């Protein structure tokens, strides 16, 4: 089993930056596993994005449907606007009795189906369900406050 966590991160572009919590898997930031500029909605600066964070965490907990027609859930979004029309990185989320699996990670756009040939080297991870739900539940409580 893998261990899911979060770590402060920043992404920069020409005239701006975004500070946010990045996902970690076994202590390694997701953006290090698949080097990219995209970000999570877990902002460290912008109170306006709290609703976005709450929605994303609720999807990752299986409480809301996926971001895409095929049920996949976005983990990383465009750093400038968060729009999935710009593309994002998504996973197939599978809940078992004792585990949660992120599988088939890859780039996806909201206007076309996921194409497995667009997958990146990180293919997914499996987490102990109680620990996963505790971490995401705690984050959800923080972003709702």
Comparing 113 with 128, which gets the higher pLDDT? 128
- Kindly state the tokens that stand for 110: 């909201």
Q: Tokens 């984050």 sit at which residue?
A: 139
DSSP symbol at 86: S
Query: For position 124, what pLDDT does the model report?
Result: 86
Given this model, what pLDDT does residue 65 score? 97
Residue 126 vs residues 35, 46, 95, 110: alpha-carbon distances, Å: 21, 30, 10, 25
Contact by Cβ (8 Å): 4, 104: no
Residue with tokens 């406050």: 145
Counting every residue written for the chain, the total comes to: 145
Question: Taking 60 as the threshold, does the pLDDT of residue 118 lie above it?
Answer: no
- Tell me the pLDDT tens digit for each residue of 85-106: 998 899 999 999 999 999 988 8
Q: What is the mean pLDDT of the chain?
A: 91
pLDDT on residue 93: 96
**pLDDT score of 117 more than 70:** no
**Adjacent-strand bridge partners of 73:** 91
Distance CA 108, CA 104 (A): 11
Quick one: 99 exposed, middle or buried, by C-beta within 10 A (0-12, 13-18, 19+)? middle
pLDDT band at 123 (very low <50, low <70, confident <90, very high): confident
Contact 108, 118 (CB under 8 A): yes
pLDDT digit string (tens) for 13-47? 888 888 999 999 999 999 888 777 899 999 998 77
Say yes or no to pLDDT of 119 above 60.
no
């Amino acid at each position: 089993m893998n261990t899911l966590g979060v770590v402060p991160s920043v992404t920069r572009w020409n005239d701006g930056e975004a500070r946010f919590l990045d996902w970690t898997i076994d202590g390694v930031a997701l953006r290090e596993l698949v080097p990219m500029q995209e970000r999570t909605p877990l902002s460290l600066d912008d109170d306006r994005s709290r609703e976005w964070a709450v929605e994303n965490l609720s999807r990752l907990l299986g409480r809301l449907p996926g971001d895409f027609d095929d049920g996949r859930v976005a983990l990383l979004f465009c750093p400038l606007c968060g729009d999935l029309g710009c593309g994002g990185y998504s996973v197939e989320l599978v809940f078992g009795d004792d585990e949660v699996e992120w599988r088939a990670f890859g780039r996806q756009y909201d206007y076309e189906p996921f194409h497995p040939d667009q997958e990146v080297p990180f293919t997914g991870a499996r987490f102990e369900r109680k620990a996963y739900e505790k971490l995401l539940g705690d984050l959800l409580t923080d972003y709702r406050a």
